[in-house]
Structure 1
Amino acid sequence: MFESSVATTLGSSEGAIKLLISIFTGYLLAFLHRVPILYKAPPTLKHVMFTVEGLALCYYNFGVDSIHVWLNVTFIYLVLLIFGGNKFTAVFTFVFNTAYLVMGYYYQIAFQEFGISWTMPLCVLTLRLTGVAFDFYDGQKTPKGDKKQESDAALTKRPGYLEMLGHTFFFGGILVGPQFSMRRYLAFVNGEYADEDSLAPKDSIVPGFRRLLLGIVYIAIFQLCALVLPNTYMVSEHFREGAIIITGMSYNGRDEHGNRRWDACTNIKVWQLETGETFSDFIQSFNVNTNQWMLRYVHRRLRFLGNKMLSQAITLFYLALWHGLQSGYYMCFFLELLETKAELEFKSLLKGLIASGLLPDVESWGWASLLGRVVRKLTLLFLWSYALVAFALLDFDKWFPIYSSVFFIGHVMCAVAIAASLAFRAISRPSPKANGVHVEKKAECKRTE
C-alpha cells in the first residue's frame, strides 16, 4: 500500500501517514467549501456534507470502528432530547462520555496494539459532546428576556440531530481537534463570519496557509530529530489548524487596526511557546483549546470545593484520564502540577529574600537580568522535557527507570523549592506572642496620648 511504503521510508507508522493525509485533505475540503455555491448553501445541506466528509475521513483511518463515534453522538442527542438541558443531563453526559472513552482505552490496551485508533476521534468527541450538554444547561439557566449569558458558548435552544452530526464530523476537527463550541459552529454555518458580500472571507486564506507552513516546518524538524534521537534512545543503555482558518470558522473579531483576526480556534501560540520563560507561558500557549475546555467545564465548576489547588489537581487528573490509562500520562500531569507549584513558591521565596535584604535585587542589573532570563528558560526547558519523558514512554517499566537513573532530579528540585519557600515563610512569620506585645504597646501609646 502507498501509506505503508511512505511510512517505511519516513520511519513512521501507517496510521500516522493516514492521519497526515487526512489533515491535508482537510485543506482541500476547506477550499471546496469556499466555492460560492457551497458557501451560500442552506445550513441543512452544510450539515449533511460535513457529516459525510467527516465519516469518510474516519472510515479511511479506522474502518468500521468509526461506528463508535456515530453511536456516541446519537446517544447524547437522545439524552438531550428526552431529558432537556438540566444539571442531570450535563453530569450524565460528562460521566457517560468519559466512561465510554475509558472503556475504549481499556479495550485497545487489552486486545489491540497501542497506536492511532478509533479512540482518537472519540477522545476529541468526549470533550465536544460534553461541552454541548453543559452549554445547553448554561443556556437554560439564563432568565427569559435576559440577553446576558453565563457563558459565551451557552445554548438557549437544543441543537437538532443534523446540527449535532455536522458539529461532530466537521472535517477540520473530527480527528485531532481543535475544540470549538456548538455555538461557534452554528454561527459559521449561518454565515456570520462571512464577508459583507456573503462570500467566504478572503483574508482568512493567508493566515490559514501560515499555520499550514508552520506545521510542515515543525513536522520536518520533529522527523529529523526523531531519526537522530528517537524515543527508544531514552530506554537504551546509552542514556536510559490551518484548514479551519481557511473555512472562516476561526473568526475572532477585529484588532486595534480594524483587521479581522482568525485565531479563535488556534491550538498553539507558537511565539509565546518558544519565548516563554514560565510554566504559565507554556501551559497557556500549548493545546490551548483543550486547556480552555478544562478550565470552563471542569476547573471553574469545582469552585464549590473552595480550594484552588484541589480543583487544579482534579482537573489535571481528568486531563490525564482523557489521554489514556497508561501511567505515564498521570506522572506527566502530576509533574505539571508539582512544577507549577514549585515555580510559584520559588518566586515567592525570592521575593521574600529580596524584601528582607538577604538577597540583592539582581533583576535590576542589566547583565544579571539577561543572565536570569537565560537561566529561567533553560530550567523551564529541562523541567518541561523532564515531565514529557513519562508522556512519551507511557509504560511504568519504561519511564520509571529513566527517572531513577537521574535520581529523580526534577522531582527533587521541585520538592526542595516548595520546602524552602514554606520554611522561609514559617521563619519570617511573626510569632503570636510578638504580635501580642506589639498590639499591647500600640494600645499603651494610645492611652498615653
Structure 2
Amino acid sequence: MENASIVNKLSESIGTTEPALKLLFTIFAGYPLALIHRKYVYGKEASLQHLFFILSGFSLGYWNYGRDMYHCVFTTFFTYCTLLLLNGTASAVAVTFIFNLGYLLTGYYFSSTQNYDINWTMPQCILVLRLIAVAFDYYDGQQPIEQLSSENKKVALQKRPSILEMFGHAFFPTSFLVGPQFSMKRYQEFVAGKYSRKGTNLPPDCAEESIRRLCMGVFYLIVFQVLGCFVTDEYLLTEEFGNRNFFKRMLLMGTWGRYTLYKYISCWLLTEGSCILFGLAYNGEDEKGEPKWNGVENIRVDIFENTTEFGEYIQSFNVNTNHWVAQYVYKRLKFLGNRYLSQIAALLFLAVWHGFHSGYYVCFFFEFATMYMERDIKSLVKSNETLTKFFALPQLQTPIQVVLRIYTFVLMGWCLLPFALFDFRSYLQAFANCSYVGVIVFCFWPIIYAPILKLVFKKNKVRKAE
C-alpha cells in the first residue's frame, strides 16, 4: 500500500493517472532486467531462461493488474492444451483464434469504460495476436514447405513449443504489456543463442543501439507532454475551439493528432530499446557486415516524420501489428479473389481487436477510405499523359511535397478523432468543430470528385506489354 500511495502521489503531481505511471515504470524496468539477463542468465540452459522471462514478466504484470493476470495465464495454458490435443491442424488454428479473440472481447464487454482503459485487457490484446500466431505457425510447419510463402517459411514451427516456451514467449518482460510482437521462432532462436556475439556464447554488442532507442523514446515522451499543452482531447469539443478560424482549427487538429501518436511512439521506442538490450532484436547483417537491430521495430521514425501519403503511415506506424494482420489475416483471404474485400476484412479484424467502441470502426473506415482515394488518384495520374507530365515538372516538386506534408499532417488528426475520443457523441462533436473536413475530402471522393476527374482526364496512355 505504501508503494501504491507513493506512485499515486507522484502521478497526481505530474498530472497523469496512477495506472499510466505504473505502466511507464514497467516499460523502463525492461532495461535493468535486460542487464540482469545479460550478466547472469544469457547463454544458460533454456529452461532457466524461460523461467526468468516468465517470472519477471508475470511480476511486472501483477504489479500493474494484480489478480487479473490469471486471464493471461489461463489463455496461454488453454492455447498450449489446444496445440497439445489438436496438433498443427486447421482445427487448432480455428479454436485458438475464436477462443482468444472471444475471451478478449468478453473482457472488453465487462471492463471497458468511456475512457482510455489501462487494465488487464491491454496485455491480453497483445497476447491474443501472439497466441494466434503460434497456432498458425505450427500449422504452417506441418504443410509442404513449397506451399509456404517466404515470410511463412521464416516462422513456421515443425515442432510444437513446450509449455515453458509458450509461457516464456507470452510473458517476455519487455514486450508483454504493450508489445512489440515477435514470432515464437525468433524467441526460440534467441534462447538458443543464435543471436550471440560471433564465435562466442556471449551477449551481442548492442548496448549502443539500445541507448539510441532509449534516448529517442524519452525525446518523444517529452515532445508528447509539450504538445499536449497546446491542445487536448477536451479542448477539441469546446465551443471556443469550434469558433476559431478554419486554418487554426486544422493546425490544432493536426498538432493534436501528432501528439496523440507520439504517446504510442514513445512507448514503442522504449520497449524496442530494451528488447535490443536483451539481444532479441537481431535481424541479420547489412551490406557492410554490421548487425542490424530492427527485428522488433514497431515505428520507422524516418518514414513517419516525412510522410506524404497515408500509405507511408501504415508502412511506418505500428509496424509489427500491421505485419501480423497482413500475414495472418489479409494474405490468408486470397481465396476471396478481391484485394478490397481482404483489406476490409483485415481492417474489420483490427477494429474488433481494439474493442466495441464505435470510434474504432469509424477510424478504420477512414483508413480504408484514404487508401482507396490515394490509389485512385495514383491510377488516374498514371493513366493520363497530361497529368503525368504536369506532376513530373521539376519546379512543382517542392510545392507538391509541402502540400502533401500538410495534407497528411492535418488529416491524420481527423482520422484519429474517433479512435481517441471513443464515444459517438464526443467524436461527432469534434467532427462538427472541424467542419467535417474528412467527410468532405474522403467520403465524397468516390461519389463526386472521382467521377468528375475521370471524365475530364480520360485514360490516354497505352500500357506497356509486360
TM-score, normalised to structure 1, is: 0.90
Distance 1:415 1:350, change over 3 A: farther
Matching of residue 38 in structure 1 with residue 41 in structure 2: yes
Shift of 1:406: 3.3
Which residue of structure 2 lines up, in the alignment, with residue 8 of structure 1? 12
Task: Provide the secondary structure at the position in 2 that maps to 1:289.
Answer: helix
**Cα displacement string for residues 225-270 of structure 1 (whole angstroms, at most 9, x for unaligned residues):** 2233221111122125111011111110100111000001010000
Instruction: With a CA cutoff of 8 Å and minimum separation of 6, indicate the structure with the bigger relative contact order.
Output: 2
1:24 to 28, 38, 47: 28
Shift of 1:27: 0.7
Which residue of structure 2 lines up, in the alignment, with residue 386 of structure 1? 414
Conserved? CA contact 1:73–1:165, under 8 Å: yes
Instruction: Determine the C-alpha separation between the residues in 1 that align with 2:388 and 2:286.
Output: 41
Query: Which residues in structure 2 correspond to 1:412-431 (within 5 Å)?
Result: 412-419=440-447, 420-425=449-454
Matching of residue 295 in structure 1 with residue 299 in structure 2: no
**Cα displacement string for residues 393-426 of structure 1 (whole angstroms, at most 9, x for unaligned residues):** 1111100121133342212212343343345446
Which residue of structure 1 lines up, in the alignment, with residue 255 of structure 2? none
Which residue of structure 1 lines up, in the alignment, with residue 51 of structure 2? 48
Which residue of structure 2 lines up, in the alignment, with residue 102 of structure 1? 105
Query: Which residues in structure 2 correspond to 1:21-420 (within 5 Å)?
Result: 21-35=25-39, 37-109=40-112, 115-142=117-144, 150-195=152-197, 196-202=199-205, 204-240=206-242, 241-353=272-384, 355=385, 357=386, 359=387, 361-419=389-447, 420=449
Conserved? CA contact 1:390–1:399, under 8 Å: yes
Shift of 1:277: 1.0
Instruction: Determine the C-alpha separation between the residues in 2 that align with 1:337 and 1:24.
Output: 35
Gaps of 5+ in 2: 243-271, 460-466
Which residue of structure 2 lines up, in the alignment, with residue 442 of structure 1? none
Task: Provide the secondary structure at the position in 1 that maps to 2:159.
Answer: coil
Shift of 1:85: 0.6
Instruction: Determine the C-alpha separation between the residues in 1 that align with 2:37 and 2:159.
Output: 26
Shift of 1:280: 1.3
Task: Provide the secondary structure at the position in 2 that maps to 1:227.
Answer: coil
Shifted more, 411-420 versus 226-235: the winner is: 411-420
Instruction: Determine the C-alpha separation between the residues in 2 that align with 1:233 and 1:429.
Output: 45
- Matched letter for residue 407 of structure 2: T
Shift of 1:352: 4.0
Task: Provide the secondary structure at the position in 1 that maps to 2:228.
Answer: helix
Instruction: Determine the C-alpha separation between the residues in 1 that align with 2:203 and 2:293.
Output: 13
Task: Provide the secondary structure at the position in 2 that maps to 1:124.
Answer: helix
- Matched letter for residue 414 of structure 1: F
Task: Provide the secondary structure at the position in 2 that maps to 1:411.
Answer: helix
Instruction: Determine the C-alpha separation between the residues in 1 that align with 2:187 and 2:419.
Output: 32
Gaps of 5+ in 1: 431-449
Kindly report the root-mean-square deviation, in angstroms, between the aligned alpha carbons of the 2 structures: 2.1
Distance 1:117 1:104, change over 3 A: same
Instruction: Determine the C-alpha separation between the residues in 2 that align with 1:130 and 1:413.
Output: 37
Shifted more, 70-79 versus 220-229: the winner is: 220-229
- Matched letter for residue 31 of structure 1: L
Conserved? CA contact 1:31–1:246, under 8 Å: yes
Conserved? CA contact 2:233–2:421, under 8 Å: yes
- Matched letter for residue 2 of structure 1: I
Distance 1:234 1:148, change over 3 A: closer
Shift of 1:150: 4.3
TM-score, normalised to structure 2, is: 0.87
Distance 1:338 1:41, change over 3 A: same
Distance 1:149 1:157, change over 3 A: farther
- Matched letter for residue 144 of structure 2: T
**Cα displacement string for residues 114-156 of structure 1 (whole angstroms, at most 9, x for unaligned residues):** 5200000000000000000000000011369x99894311000
Conserved? CA contact 1:108–1:114, under 8 Å: no
Distance 1:123 1:147, change over 3 A: closer
Instruction: Determine the C-alpha separation between the residues in 2 that align with 1:233 and 1:149.
Output: 45
- Matched letter for residue 94 of structure 2: V
Instruction: Determine the C-alpha separation between the residues in 1 that align with 2:311 and 2:372.
Output: 11
Shift of 1:296: 0.3
Percent identity for Structure 1 against Structure 2: 39
Distance 1:339 1:149, change over 3 A: closer
Instruction: Determine the C-alpha separation between the residues in 2 that align with 1:65 and 1:408.
Output: 41
Instruction: Determine the C-alpha separation between the residues in 2 that align with 1:45 and 1:38.
Output: 7
Instruction: Determine the C-alpha separation between the residues in 2 that align with 1:148 and 1:272.
Output: 25
**Cα displacement string for residues 83-110 of structure 1 (whole angstroms, at most 9, x for unaligned residues):** 1111111122111111000010011137
Conserved? CA contact 2:237–2:433, under 8 Å: no
Distance 1:388 1:113, change over 3 A: closer
**Cα displacement string for residues 319-374 of structure 1 (whole angstroms, at most 9, x for unaligned residues):** 01111111111111110110111111122233345x1x3x5834333332100010
Conserved? CA contact 2:344–2:368, under 8 Å: yes
Instruction: Determine the C-alpha separation between the residues in 2 that align with 1:318 and 1:343.
Output: 22
Instruction: Determine the C-alpha separation between the residues in 1 that align with 2:67 and 2:115.
Output: 17
